[in-house]
Structure 1
Amino acid sequence: MQQKTKSIIGSIMSGLAILFMLADGIMKLIQPKEVVEATLNLGYQPHHISTIGLLGLAVTMLYMIPKTSFIGAILTTGYFGGAIATNFRMDQPLFSHILFPVYLSVLLWGGLLLRYPKLIQSLTKPNRQKS
């Protein structure tokens, strides 16, 4: 597969993850009744909702900026880890709730690695410095 095709597929994958995260963060700031109820059902207090939304938007913005996309992906993965732990603690269904952040992580990291193939090389090849 040509690099241009990989880059397009990677951009689409990243775009889907970004769109979801932007929608999630914005809804947590707007706080419609459904979002508040769902968050309260997960064991959070109402004053946590805006903070969670701001954190989600912050890591998403870092991912969106090409120069900070790698650190954004790392931080977003941590954010998703919190979502996994929350859903697991609440005994939510495995494939639809607990693993949903994993699906988003696949889009996030897959998109990043397809857009920046040198990142794969830097992650897989040891750095051998001459002595």
Structure 2
Amino acid sequence: MTKNAMLWTGRVLTGLFALFMLGASVTPKLLRMPVAEETMAQLGWPVGYAFMIGLIELACLVLYLVPRTALLGAILMMGLLGGAMATQIRAGSPLFSHILFSLYLGLFMWGGLWLRDGRLRALFPVVRA
């Protein structure tokens, strides 16, 4: 794959990740939609935590989208996704559809960053045998 194709594929993956996070996670929490509060309550979080978690998600997403802070944003977002995974484990959720969903998102996020950032590709190269 050419560098230009990798860059654009990475940008598309990053854009899709950002749109998903904004639409499915950040926006419902920041708008204090009942579905966000209900879901958080079902997972054992106290009422009112959804808004703060939405702010943290938004901050991590903004850091991830800014090229100079993308690596920091990805690391912080992965920590947040790890916390979501731990919450799903504690709640006894299904493995492949709920618990591992954070891992799927994280791989999608890191894949986009790896494709669009040559420094990250140099740090984690794909070795062909």
- TM-score norm. by structure 2 comes to 0.91
Partner of 2:13: 13
For structure 1, the 5+ residue unaligned runs are 125-131
**1:36-77, Cα deviation, whole Å (9 max, x unpaired):** 111100001112111100000000000010100000000000
Question: Alpha-carbon deviation of 1:112?
Answer: 0.4
Displacement after TM superposition at 1:118 (Å): 2.3
Q: Alignment partner of 1:20: what SS?
A: helix
Moved more, 69-78 or 4-13: 4-13
| Identity percentage of aligned residues | 40
RMSD over aligned Cα atoms = 1.2
The aligned counterpart of 1:109 is 110
Equivalent residue number for residue 80 of structure 1: 81
Offset of 1:120 from its aligned partner? 2.2
2: CA distance, partners of 1:6 / 1:89: 38
Aligned residues: 124
Q: Where do residues 1-131 of structure 1 align in structure 2 (5 Å cutoff)? A: 1-23=1-23, 24-123=25-124
SS at match of 2:48: helix
Q: Is the 8 A contact 2:60 2:76 kept in 1?
A: yes
Highest Rg: 1 or 2? 1
Q: Could you say what secondary structure the match of 2:93 adopts?
A: coil
**Residues 78 and 106 in structure 2, CA contact (< 8 A), matched pair in contact too:** yes
In structure 2, runs of 5+ residues without a counterpart are none
